[in-house]
Amino acid sequence: MVKSLDFFKENGYLHLEAFFSKEMIAQVLKDAKSTFFRQFLIKGYLSSENSIDDINEDSFNSCLYKLFEEDLECFVNCGKQVQHLISLHRLSLDEKIIEKITELGIKTPNISTRPVLFFNHPKLAKQKVFYKVDAHQDWRSMQGSLNSIVVWVPLIDINIRLGALEIIPKSHLWGLRTDHIDNGFGMVSLSEEENQSLLSVEVNAGDVLIFSSFLVHQSGNNISNAPRWSCHFRYNDLDDITFIERKYAHAYIYKPVEELITKDFPQLEDVLKIYK
Ligand SMILES: O=C(O)CCC(=O)C(=O)O
């Protein structure tokens, strides 16, 4: 434990192998894929004889790319729903994570923002930042406690071809180095030398990569044919004195849209069908 704390303090990250069971991770991935899968069925991309358990990965990915091309609204909405999966949120609250981040110095852990689930691929993005985020520090978007921590969880085995996350060890000791914002990310312009010190962290499903919110990191290049599935959790420390003094500054906005998304829906009979 002391060794991992020392390593974390010095390097700003920890790669913990086989931290979660493969089954727990597989459940989150299955729930995410099922969300898209239901739309594939209703759109006739697949027949109802198909089930999420036996569809092969290539067929699933072809449907995913097709959905992105043919119905962006549906694709984006599925993407939003997967951010709210119960298995995803449950994973983010798992006692093992809370214990580990407590060991790493967070005295009273609190959630900084909702978990995020990524499925990165150039074919699933209209802008580069939606599949590859260049060097950034998460503290700039979180703006929480100084010891805040990010837990990055691969949902599949992720090698360099799939765009393994790249980090700069010890860069948490640079302090806040962001110089502009891109789509909410606090970006860091790297010198040639700093760029050379990026380290790709290949991970397997079940591993976790834990890092300081000040650690500079970026997405690797996904040059494979498959999306890179991962989820990311962020935690603050309610006991950090600077956070207390900053009145628990909170940087995220979350509110419902005002308009009725589906015009003239629901009619009374739609509601009654549910209850009668
Ligand atoms: O996972 C990635 O490739 C980039 C996302 C990221 O670094 C983040 O959410 O802070």
Among 13, 83, 114, 118, residue to substitute to test ligand 1 (most atoms within 8 Å of Cβ):
118
pLDDT, residue 2, reads 65
Virtual torsion, Cα 222, 227, 228, 232, nearest 10 deg: 130
Q: Ligand 1: distance of its center to the CA of 119 in Å?
A: 11
Delimit the domains of the chain by residue range.
2-23+85-275
d(CA 56, CA 194): 41
The fraction of the chain above a pLDDT of 90, given in percent, is 98
pLDDT, residue 1, reads 63
Q: Are 38 and 63 in contact (CB under 8 A)?
A: no
Q: Which atom of ligand 1 is nearest to the CA of 141?
A: 10
pLDDT, residue 185, reads 97
Among 132, 133, 139, 150, residue to substitute to test ligand 1 (most atoms within 8 Å of Cβ):
133
State which residues of the chain have pLDDT below 70.
Answer: 1-2
pLDDT, residue 16, reads 98
User: Would you tell me which CATH number, out of the four given (3.90.1150.10, 2.60.120.620, 1.10.287.610, 3.20.20.70), belongs to the domain 2-23+85-275?
Assistant: 2.60.120.620
- DSSP secondary structure of 191-226: PHHHHHT-EE--B-BTBEEEEETTS-EE-----SSS
Handedness of CA 112, 113, 114, 115 (dihedral sign): negative
Q: Are 63 and 75 in contact (CB under 8 A)?
A: no
166-191 pLDDT, tens digit per residue, is: 999 999 999 999 999 999 999 999 99
Q: Ligand 1: distance of its center to the CA of 251 in Å?
A: 17
